Amino acid sequence: MGCVAIWHDIEPAARDDFHEWHNREHMPERVGIPGFRRGRRYVALRGAPEYFNLYEADSPETLAGQDYLNRLNAPTAWTQRVIPSFRNVARAICRVAFTNGVGSGGIVLTLRFAIPDGQRDGTVDALRRRLLPPLLYRVGVTGVHLLLADDAASRVETAERRTRGNATDVPAWIVLVEGIGVPEVDAAADDLAPALGAHGAAGVDRAIYRLENTRLKTPWAAG
């Protein structure tokens, strides 16, 4: 599987326009691309930036494919009006290295961090085999996911990116913990923190978000 993970703030004056654009045009447009499965938007309860968006796709190749690039290179008039209001953007096109759980939680905790190159393979193996699976058995945790960014694909220059006109960070390592409440996902991340530190995790950014909207493949499955 592949996904696009996006964090950003929005200029206050553009917030209402952003919500309408994202609900009525952007999410349906993105999920309508062949190979895209679902889009979700979250708003911050703790930490920053204010918004976290997650788009899931059949594979990482879908996200580097021509259908997606064609959409990025043909932004609508509404997109061109809203995108310049984005601030503090972090965006990564990712391979899903681990995913498991019993469902989608209304709360998600995001961890963004870096791991030294020499420890990459060992850290991926430890997260997949030893560190992430036990979190799934914590009370109130509904899903745990490890996303690894494709730096080159994430930095491809597109018309939509030029419209935004500000710098974009690419987080290399991402862990998502979904659950039923803030204490539940927070406690899971507390359990994981020492192990990440032991593997040399640096620049760890931790935030908690509440689900605002979900868009599935078809309008009649949009709830």
Q: Which residues, at least 6 apart from 208, have a Cβ–Cβ distance to it below 8 Å?
A: 44, 45, 46, 47, 107, 108, 109, 110, 182, 185, 186
DSSP of 54-119: EEEES-HHHHTSHHHHHHHTS--HHHHHHGGGEEEEEEEEEEEEEEEESS--SEEEEEEEE--GGG
Computed over every residue of the chain, the mean pLDDT equals 93
For 83-142, how does the pLDDT look when each residue is reduced to its tens digit (9 = 90+)? 999 999 999 999 999 999 999 999 999 999 999 999 999 999 999 999 999 999 999 999
- Apex CA 147: angle with CA 92 and CA 51, to 5°? 55
CATH of 2-221, picked from 3.30.750.200, 2.60.40.10, 3.10.580.10, 3.30.70.100, is 3.30.70.100
Sign of the CA dihedral 1, 30, 110, 156?
A: positive
Confidence of residue 159 (pLDDT cuts 50, 70, 90): confident
Q: Decide which of 87 and 165 is more confident.
A: 87
What is the mean predicted confidence (pLDDT) over 72-78?
A: 93
Indicate the burial class of 51 (C-beta count within 10 angstroms; 0-12, 13-18, 19 or more).
buried
Per residue in 37-69, pLDDT (tens digit) is 999 999 999 999 999 999 999 999 999 889 999
> Which band of pLDDT confidence, cut at 50, 70 and 90, is reported for residue 78?
very high
Residue type at 110 in one-letter notation: T
pTM metric for this prediction: 0.94
Categorize the per-residue pLDDT at 219 as very low, low, confident or very high, splitting at 50, 70 and 90.
Answer: low
Would you state the pLDDT for residue 166?
64
Measured CA to CA, the distance from residue 25 to residue 118 in angstroms comes to 43
pLDDT surpassing 50 at residue 182? yes
User: For residue 136, what is the DSSP state?
Assistant: G
Q: What is the pLDDT of residue 222?
A: 45
Helix (H, G, I), strand (E, B) or coil at 166: coil
Which of the four pLDDT bands, split at 50, 70 and 90, describes residue 223? very low
Structure tokens at 104: 């989608």
Q: How confident is the model at residue 218 (pLDDT cuts 50, 70, 90)?
A: low
